[in-house]
């Protein structure tokens, strides 16, 4: 097995990672850097590793390429003899190799990683879950993520430390999105005669091809009996092998305080005859295949997109929270995630850095700076006519209001050759701003602590101007500005990303936005933590929105930080792929 330094990403079905040929020592802690409306999360991947683990725990997948296991070193050996009549008791331990096809899904820069798991079968042999672990090293720290008896653990230690010193804690289920029931997906498999991924035919020597759905994404399973099976997807493939012997997995010792937070996060799942055959490496019987409703063929979408329009310069405008300002456009941004490899229609990428702390979105000078920057990136734009031509404008959060306000006030206009892409714009304001102002004016320490998720007391000018339209904290002038901005938005926006679920992608930001989404008195539960879906839509009909990445108006299950491309893409959930959406948009 090749040595790899793995980086954990948005994995929406559990797995177990091994990043080196040696068992890593447990390592560091996650830390959260909260930055106003959009957060930085340098250690977001630690939580994701555990989620990968959990997702796999409910997965009853395997293959039959047996291996000999010594510690964390794995060597290929011959296949053990399988019983003719298999039961779940015959299910071996597993090694799964994940191959990611998109850089937005890479884990610590790696496009491939391994997962290990032991089956835990019920006494009556009718259901199964998996214990497992993820072990890797990052600098001087070792990390181990474990799932034992349905409880998830995160353990850290210093690399090379033989004293046994470590810290361990549990991860509460409240930090995890609902797990995809992969066993149920296999139980619902449909037999197909052929399959393709993009323009490439999926070859399956045995001919045992099945279509399954994980989350809301389609996958194709090629079963090869005792040689295992492969799962093909648009954005990732999974090759599964049997291990000759189980992996040693022991729950860590916890302090009394740490043990209080422990709870069972996964439970066993029953399996169908077809799933049982996959779990035990048996050939799928013809009678089992006949029970499955057959379909002719399945074609998976391509993992990447090319520009279908004319490449143009792209300019990005950030939202609330920048106290600094640059007089020239920048080539990098700490606010947005790296989109450079997923922007085929951007002939160049520039970022405007503006003061969005001291200046309200309604500020005339701020709006003029937005226009000046937008006009400057294309040679066909006109200063004299105030026209932005042949440009792709991307705005996030308050940046969308800044652009809409500038257009509404005639400070500039967009030509038909320009495309405006809006991300999570609070077109009717945000109750987060109202919450912050109310908390700052009171003496409730808890309220102030929660309010700090979206800003600091006292509320600054930019926050005050985001008070929810027609609410007590808004003014008649602000209400009128919202109406004008919404009209300009509807007339000029070409694509938009909004959210109706703040759970978002697995990251250290996730807990913060879950708290904001549940504590801030939003008008609707359909929000990204700070901006409601209806506010983001800006008066556009909700019928325009769809929940897959190929919808121009994209209704996601992302939080407010996710929509700034901070956390890449989910592995399987199509409503959580913001980077792929932008890549395939134009």
CATH of the domain at 347: 3.40.50
pLDDT tens, 98-149?
Answer: 899 999 988 767 788 888 888 999 999 889 988 888 776 777 878 777 888 8
> Where a domain ends, among 272, 300, 328?
300
Q: Which domain holds residue 236?
A: 44-300
Answer yes or no: do 488 and 414 share one domain. yes
**Choice among 184-188, 268-272, 387-391, 429-433 with the minimum mean pLDDT:** 184-188
Residue 30: inside a domain, yes or no?
no
Is residue 435 one of the residues assigned to a domain? Answer: no
Residue 294 — very low, low, confident or very high, per pLDDT cuts 50/70/90? low
Q: Are 351 and 237 found together in one domain?
A: no
287 and 331 co-located in one domain:
no
Kindly indicate the confidence band of residue 387, based on its pLDDT and cuts at 50, 70 and 90: very high
Taking Cα atoms as reference points, which of 277, 181, 182, 289 lies closest to residue 229?
Answer: 277
Q: Are residues 242 and 269 in the same domain?
A: yes
Q: Residue 204 and residue 229: Cα distance in Å, rounded?
A: 9
pLDDT at residue 420, rounded to an integer:
99
Residue where one domain finishes, among candidates 300, 330, 360 = 300
pLDDT in tens, 168-205: 888 755 444 333 357 778 888 999 989 999 888 999 98
438 falls within a domain: no
133 and 213 co-located in one domain: yes
In this structure, the answer to whether residues 65 and 198 fall within a common structural domain is yes
Residue 205 resides in a domain: yes
Residue 450 confidence (pLDDT): 63
Q: Do 264 and 361 sit in the same domain of this protein?
A: no
**Tell me: the pLDDT tens digits for 324-362?**
999 999 999 999 999 999 999 999 999 999 999 999 999
201 and 293 belong to one structural domain:
yes
Q: How many CB atoms lie within 10 A of CB 475?
A: 11
Last residue of a domain, one of 249, 278, 300: 300
CA gap 423, 498 in Å, rounded: 7
Dihedral over Cα of 540, 314, 506, 457: its sign? negative
Counting other chains too, the contacts that 165-171 makes at CB distance below 8 Å and 24 or more residues apart are 166/25, 166/26, 166/252, 167/26, 167/29, 168/26, 168/252, 168/253, 168/254, 168/258, 169/254, 169/258, 169/261, 170/254, 170/258, 170/259, 170/261, 170/262, 170/263, 171/47, 171/50, 171/265
pLDDT band at 521 (very low <50, low <70, confident <90, very high): very high
Identify whether 448 is part of a domain: no
pLDDT bracket for residue 495 (50, 70, 90)? very high
Is residue 562 a part of any domain in this protein?
yes
Q: Which residue has the tokens 């032991």?
A: 118
Same domain, yes or no, for 134 and 267? yes
pTM of the model: 0.82
For the chain, what is the domain count? 2
Residue 444 reports pLDDT greater than 70: no
Residue 169 lies in a domain: yes
Task: Check: CB of residue 11 under 8 Å from CB of residue 95.
Answer: no
The answer as to whether 307 is a domain residue is no
* Residue 149 to residue 26: CA distance in whole angstroms: 20
Q: Do 319 and 288 reside in the same domain of the chain?
A: no
Nearest CA among 471, 448, 447 for reference residue 458: 448
Within 13 A of 195's CA, how many CA atoms are on the CB side? 30
Our CA angle for 131, 136, 142, nearest 5°, is 105
Same domain, 209 and 351: no
Q: Within this chain, do residues 283 and 324 fall inside the same structural domain, yes or no?
A: no
Q: What separation in angstroms does the CA of 53 have from each of 109, 282, 360, 428, 477?
A: 19, 25, 44, 40, 52
Instruction: Give the residue carrying structure tokens 């998109």.
Output: 102
Sign of CA dihedral 399, 400, 403, 409: negative
Helices (H) and strands (E) in the chain, counts: 14, 25
């Amino acid at each position: 097995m090749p040595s790899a330094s793995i980086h954990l990403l948005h994995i929406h079905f559990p797995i177990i990672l091994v990043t080196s040929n040696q068992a890593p020592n447990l390592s560091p802690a996650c830390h959260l850097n909260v930055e106003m409306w959009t957060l930085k999360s340098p250690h977001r991947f630690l939580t994701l590793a555990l989620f990968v683990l959990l997702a796999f725990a409910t997965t009853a997948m395997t293959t039959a390429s047996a291996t000999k296991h010594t510690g964390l070193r794995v060597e290929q050996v011959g296949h053990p003899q399988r019983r003719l009549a298999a039961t779940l008791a015959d299910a071996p331990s597993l090694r799964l190799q994940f191959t990611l096809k998109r850089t937005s899904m890479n884990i610590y820069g790696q496009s491939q990683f391994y997962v290990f798991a032991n089956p835990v079968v019920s006494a009556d042999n009718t259901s199964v879950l998996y214990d497992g672990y993820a072990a890797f090293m990052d600098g001087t720290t070792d990390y181990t993520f474990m799932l034992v008896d349905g409880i998830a653990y995160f353990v850290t230690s210093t690399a090379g430390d033989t004293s046994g010193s470590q810290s361990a804690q549990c991860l509460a289920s409240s930090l995890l999105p609902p797990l995809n029931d992969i066993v149920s997906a296999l139980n619902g498999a449909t037999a197909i005669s052929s399959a393709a991924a993009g323009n490439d035919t999926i070859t399956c020597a045995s001919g045992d091809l099945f279509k399954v759905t994980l989350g809301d994404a389609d996958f194709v399973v090629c079963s090869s009996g005792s040689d295992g099976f492969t799962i093909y997807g648009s954005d990732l493939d999974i090759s599964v092998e049997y291990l000759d012997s189980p992996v040693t997995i022991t729950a860590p010792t916890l302090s009394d305080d740490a043990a209080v937070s422990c709870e069972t996060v996964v439970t066993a799942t029953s399996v169908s005859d077809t799933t049982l055959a996959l779990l035990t490496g048996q050939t799928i019987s013809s009678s089992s295949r006949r029970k499955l409703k057959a379909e002719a063929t399945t074609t998976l979408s391509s993992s990447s997109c090319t520009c279908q329009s004319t490449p143009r310069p792209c300019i990005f405008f950030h939202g609330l929270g920048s106290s600094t300002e640059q007089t020239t456009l920048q080539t990098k941004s700490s606010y947005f995630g790296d989109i450079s490899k997923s922007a085929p229609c951007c002939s160049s990428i520039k970022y405007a850095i503006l003061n969005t702390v001291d200046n309200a979105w309604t500020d005339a000078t701020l709006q003029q700076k937005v226009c000046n920057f937008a006009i400057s990136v294309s040679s066909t734009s006109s200063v004299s006519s105030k026209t932005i031509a042949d440009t792709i404008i991307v705005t996030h959060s308050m940046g969308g209001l800044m652009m809409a306000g500038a257009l509404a006030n005639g400070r500039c206009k967009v030509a038909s050759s320009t495309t405006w892409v809006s991300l999570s714009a609070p077109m009717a304001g945000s109750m987060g701003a109202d919450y912050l102002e109310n908390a700052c004016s009171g003496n409730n320490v808890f309220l102030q602590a929660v309010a700090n998720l979206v800003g600091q007391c006292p509320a600054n000018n930019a926050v005050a101007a985001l008070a929810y339209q027609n609410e007590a904290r808004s003014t008649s002038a602000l209400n009128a500005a919202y109406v004008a901005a919404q009209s300009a938005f509807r007339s000029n926006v070409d694509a938009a990303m909004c959210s109706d679920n703040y759970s978002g992608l697995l990251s250290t930001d996730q807990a913060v936005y879950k708290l904001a989404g549940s504590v801030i008195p939003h008008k609707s539960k359909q929000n990204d933590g700070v901006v409601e879906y209806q506010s983001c839509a800006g008066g556009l009909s909700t019928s325009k929105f769809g929940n897959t990445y190929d919808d121009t108006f994209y209704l996601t299950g992302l939080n407010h930080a996710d929509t700034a491309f901070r956390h890449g893409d989910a592995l399987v959930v199509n409503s959580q792929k913001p980077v792929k959406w932008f890549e395939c948009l134009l």
